[in-house]
Structure 1
Amino acid sequence: MTAASTRLSKQARREQLLDTAMTIVRAQGTDSLTLLTLAEAAGVSRPIVYDHFGTRPGLLLALYRRLDERHRTAAEQALREAAPTPGDTARVMSVAYFTCATDMPEWNAISAALKGNPEMEAAEHEMLAGYTDWMAAALLPYSGLTPEALRLRCVGALGAAETIAAELNRGRATVADAVTALTDLIVGGIGTGAGVGQSVAGASRPYSTGESRRD
């Protein structure tokens, strides 16, 4: 361990370790990530890694939460930059969802590695609830539904999004088709009183979709 490494604050060290862990996952897969391999790759002692994450599931869960935070931050920024219309708002949500599905393969790999872990299941429920609340709050100004009814529609939209993502991963749909389908479902389900086609057709592209990023 170098002298320079000891000067990092605890938060900076944690970020460094998570960066290194993500590099390992991307290059070698989740099976290659352990507390020992992380310590060796980061050039720190094993006790430092254990102090930050405790166990391998704890490390994987920290990575999963980090991906979720980055996804939410990007989605919220795109929403702030979008035109204040139901179509634009729905499209931002749809692009964000499928960009995550296509551009963050580590997300599914980490989730699979933690399948059956009670802490992971609790974290997934927590993240889904938070994302649903965010969607409902953003769509409420354009909806004629009660907040409770709108939130339930958002739950349904996210369920549909998961199914559409499965079709996308099987090569049965393009990213553009997936974004359009989910945007239509969201706008059509929030009780705007406007035609779905009209709302979606007028929606601008607040930021590049997953298909352009994959080219």
Structure 2
Amino acid sequence: MIETALEIIREHGADALTLGYLAERAGVSKPIAYEHFETRSGLLIALYRRIDEQQVRALLDSLATARHQLDEVARLIARAYMTCHSASGPEGHAISAALRGDPQMEAVQQDLIDGCIGIFANALAPFSKLSRDALQQRCVGIVGAAEALSRDMTRGKLDEMAAINNLTALIVSGIDPQ
């Protein structure tokens, strides 16, 4: 059902995604869709989590193969972030926008952002003179910049390579390298 839901968003936008329409397109009964997701917000949150899981997996896989050099680690972080947003297309931002103001989604988004910040800080700590707390705060800004760049990229205002290069430069200059 998740793949079908993403197809609906891709074809018709997030506003067209309802549990009833999902059930119809997926060839299941409405009670199955409601049992699985409970609410439309629950469905959208499941979609958002799936996109985030793909992003985290790609990032961790990239970092596992990285040489111990700041430029390479920064570029891997940037590439994984932008590649995930390219792969999910505008659907990721559409899902996020559809859930704007939903208290449950705000908690989920904060949890996922905190996880991303932690991954960035762990990967960048060996290269920074900053204290752990200061590096965490810088990574908050890096994630904000990454989100803004990915939004411009998915809207066609910036190509993927430019987004990766800009985020890489922000990471390298922003962590107060040793």
TM-score by length of 1: 0.76
Match of 2:84 in 1: 100
Give yes or no for the alignment of 1:78 onto 2:50: no
Shift of 1:125: 1.0
Distance 1:172 1:34 in 2: 30
**Cα offset, 1:178, TM superposition:** 2.1
Instruction: Tell me how far 1:189 sits from its aligned partner.
Output: 2.1
Give the corresponding residue for 1:56: 40
Question: How many angstroms does 1:55 deviate by?
Answer: 0.8
Distance in 2 of aligned mates of 1:171 and 1:107: 15
* Count of aligned pairs between the two proteins: 177
Larger Rg: 1
Cα RMSD, aligned residues only: 1.8
2:130 is paired with a residue whose SS is: coil
Work out whether 1:155 is the aligned partner of 2:146.
Answer: no
Among 119, 142, 156, which residue is 2:127 paired with?
142
Q: Contact 2:93–2:151 (CA<8 Å) still a contact in 1?
A: no
Distance 1:33 1:164, change over 3 A: closer
Task: Quote how far apart the aligned CAs of 1:170 are.
Answer: 5.7
Quick one: percent identity of the two aligned structures?
Answer: 46
Unaligned runs of 5+ in 2: none
Aligned partner (choices 97, 116, 128) of residue 131 of structure 1: 116
Letter paired with 1:80: A
Amino acid at match of 2:118: D
**Secondary structure in 2 matching 1:90:** helix
Note the C-alpha offset of 1:151: 0.8
| Closer, same or farther: CA 74–192 of 1 in aligned 2, 3 Å | same
Q: Which residue identity lines up with residue 171 of structure 2 in the other structure?
A: I
Query: Which of 158, 161, 175 matches 2:160?
Result: 175
Q: Which amino acid aligns with 2:116?
A: Y
Calculate the TM-score normalised by the size of structure 2: 0.90
Cα deviation 1:98-132 (Å, max 9, x = unaligned): 22333321101111111111111111111111100
Please list every run of 5 or more consecutive structure 1 residues that lacks an aligned counterpart in the other structure.
1-16, 194-215
Task: Give, in whole Å, the separation in 1 of the partners of 2:44 and 2:12.
Answer: 14
CA distance in 2, matches of 1:181, 1:192: 17
- Which of 39, 51, 72 is matched with 1:88 structurally? 72
